[in-house]
Amino acid sequence: MPTPREMTETKYVAVGDADVAYRVVGGGPFDLLYCYGLGSHVDMHADGVSDMGQFLDAVASFSRLIFFDRRGTGASDGLARNAMPAWEEWAEDVRAVLDAAGSDRTAIFGGNDAGPIAMMFAALHPARVSALILANTSPRYLEADDYPIGLSQAIVDAVVETVGSLWGTEQLAAVMNPRRADDVEFARSLARTTRASATPRDAAAQYRYILENVDVRSVLRLIQAPTLVLHASHDALLNLDHGRYLADHIPGAKFVAVPGHGILDGEGELAFVVGEIAEFLTGHRPVVDVDRVLTTVLFTDIVASTQQLTSVGDRRWRSLLDAHDRAVREQLRRFRGREINTTGDGFAACFDGPGRAIACATSIIEVTHALGINVRAGLHTGECEVRGDELAGVAVHLAARIESRQRGRGCGLEHRKGPGLGFWNRVRGQGRTRTKRHTHHVEVVRRRRSSDVGITADLPGPVGRAVCT
**Average pLDDT of 187-210?**
93
pLDDT of residue 400: 58
**Average pLDDT of 47-65?**
81
pLDDT of residue 217: 96
Q: Where does the pLDDT of residue 398 fall: very low under 50, low under 70, confident under 90, or very high at 90 and above?
A: low
pLDDT of residue 187: 86
pLDDT of residue 143: 96
pLDDT of residue 293: 63
Ordered domains of the chain (ranges, CATH): 4-282 (3.40.50.1820), 292-468 (3.30.70.1230)
Do residues 329 and 321 lie in contact, with contact meaning Cβ atoms separated by under 8 Å? no
pLDDT of residue 434: 36
| 431-434, strands of its sheet edge to edge | 431-434, 439-446, 453-458, 465-468
pTM of the model as a whole: 0.63
> What are the beta bridge partners of residue 230?
135, 256
- Higher-pLDDT residue of 11, 441: 11
- Higher-pLDDT residue of 266, 296: 296
Q: Where does the pLDDT of residue 135 fall: very low under 50, low under 70, confident under 90, or very high at 90 and above?
A: very high
**pLDDT beyond 90 at 98:** yes
pLDDT of residue 397: 59
**pLDDT beyond 60 at 182:** yes
Q: Where does the pLDDT of residue 233 fall: very low under 50, low under 70, confident under 90, or very high at 90 and above?
A: confident
**Average pLDDT of 192-204?**
94
pLDDT digits (tens, 9 = 90+) for 107-124: 999 999 999 999 999 999
**Average pLDDT of 250-261?**
90
pLDDT digits (tens, 9 = 90+) for 308-338: 666 777 778 788 888 888 899 999 988 888 8
pLDDT of residue 350: 85
> What are the beta bridge partners of residue 11?
22
**pLDDT beyond 80 at 269:** no
**Average pLDDT of 150-178?**
92
Q: Where does the pLDDT of residue 385 fall: very low under 50, low under 70, confident under 90, or very high at 90 and above?
A: low
- Mean residue pLDDT of the chain comes to 79
